[in-house]
Structure 1
């Protein structure tokens, strides 16, 4: 039971911080995304990848299409997705911080600040961004954790899964690609 205290705290704190998000409706960028999905339903889903705009984020586009297909304009599902994935990211950050600094109190503080910080709020409350930033952060943090496992116990599967997670993260938001440069530096 004791091992569930931190995950439960992070989840409840995230819900508290973003309480009422399910009352917020879509903004302009979501409507553009929905329009692209409707267009793709008519002319084929490959058009989603072709018209990805200024960012090459094919996994975000696929996730937007899946959400629109499953939940249409029921914004509550988008809100719960954002809250729960942000809580998962907070938990991954806690585990990563605890792994790196070996101080549970500082790791809890880091996760708490991460969950409630103003810069991360936009990634949660702006649904168009939550479909790219949150999964990118999730896979980036997971990739970093797997890389730390690789440094402790050098198994090829940890390195492979770490790189795969980082590439998946970059498929949601290209910002994750910098981790491919970080990994060799961290291994020094």
Structure 2
């Protein structure tokens, strides 16, 4: 049970969807950020960017975000869950490009602390073909997911078990985007 009364059925609105329904005026910019970072046109595929979100969420031990973004990545990567599982289990041996591995190393450093991103990590990413935009957005995805993870876990929200619980959310996010997929009601105007 969540730490505060979100006014919802937690099993119907698990993870971040409950707090977003509770406070739609903050949900809007959070969803807009996720939409830009994870779905907007980019040189990294949506699946690769979702993989970064899943990787950081797993390192943060945020069950809901890791499971949901693993599902979103798997649904958009040709290799599906096999690749997501390999990356999460052992980044060094996962069958990914040198560029994606270097970007995930940057994301892992951000997860610890922004100050753990070194010039060497950035140079390695550039040497593997990463652009400044890809490095920038990797850092921002990792930082944003540290925030999203702490939001979800800090409120003690419910996380369904099993991959099947996230399949429908993956379909909705891919089809409709973040704002529409979680069905957040419009914020009431302030009096």
Q: TM-score, normalised by structure 2?
A: 0.30
More helix by share: 1
State the TM-score, normalized to the length of structure 1: 0.30
Structure possessing the higher relative contact order (Cα contacts under 8 Å, 6 or more residues apart): 2
